[in-house]
Amino acid sequence: MEAAFEHWSASWPVLVGYVVVAACHLVGFRRSQAVAQAVTPEVGTSKERRREAILFQLGLLLVLVSLVSPVGYYSTVYIWVRMMQALLIAVVAPGVLVVGAPWEPFRAVLTRRHSQPPSGTDTVRRTPWLMSRPALAVTTANVVWLVWQVPALFDPARSNAGLAWIEHLSYLAAGTVFWLQLISSRPFSQATPPLRRLKLLIGTVGASTVFGMMFVFGSSVLYPAYANSAHHLMTVLDDQQLAGAVWWMGMLPVMSVGAVALMMQWLRDEESAELSAGLDRLLTPRRHGWPSRPIIR
């Protein structure tokens, strides 16, 4: 229990960054909500917007806790804690942030105008460039996640604060781009079919499984910098194998939630397509094989 109250790091850059981003989001949320209610009160209810704002704030809080809590401290002591921290910052927190749809609130803060949107603030927009290329974006995110596990970067980032900052920011950016390929985040909407996005998610699970198995069943120490006095109950190799299990097993619940959401969207789309086709058949006049009037010769 003492570990839960000790080793809380008062990292001023993290705390200041959290306060600035959270405050900007709340200010922008109030502005965008006021504009939406004034222009199109029937689109995007206040309840939905509040739920999104709460989710985004929870995602920010998750990033904060991953960096300044004992998780941040013990990530420099144990490899498995470092892997859990990476999983939270790179996969879990970005998913919550994307579901929180912070784009309109931040846009409201940056523009500093209460201008009315052309056709309602919930207008569907296509994602730009990299976000409109799901295969490239998902591959890039996986490469970023795995490259930071290379010993040449993993060990130095343990003691180099600047390199650690780059690691965490790249985790967060890659995770955000990754989830934008799989789920819609108002006002952006994915044009890629759900089944294709599901294939990308399954490919990510496969890559994380192979990576985790390499650690779990590996027999050589990859991170000698973690050979410290704290490893008196388990060896560095045991710690490394546990870290592989954390990444491997930790990915599965998160990706399972994404897979279920994509399957539900696919079923809704299929049901809508069948309903539309049925209505078209009912509304289209039938052509009879026999003439309506007899032909008198």
**pLDDT (tens digit per residue) in 184-232:** 888 777 778 888 889 999 999 999 999 999 999 988 888 988 887 777 7
d(CA 140, CA 107): 26
DSSP per-residue letters across 110-167: HH---PPPTT-TT--BPPPGGGG-HHHHHHHHHHHHHHTTSHHHHHHHHH-HHHHHHH
d(CA 222, CA 77): 15
Tens digit of each residue's pLDDT (9 = 90 or more) over 32-80: 877 766 665 555 457 888 899 999 999 999 999 999 888 888 888 899 9
d(CA 285, CA 73): 72
Residue from 61, 62, 67 nearest 82 by CA: 67
Average pLDDT of the chain, as a whole number: 81
pTM for the model stands at 0.81
Q: What percent of the chain has pLDDT over 70?
A: 77
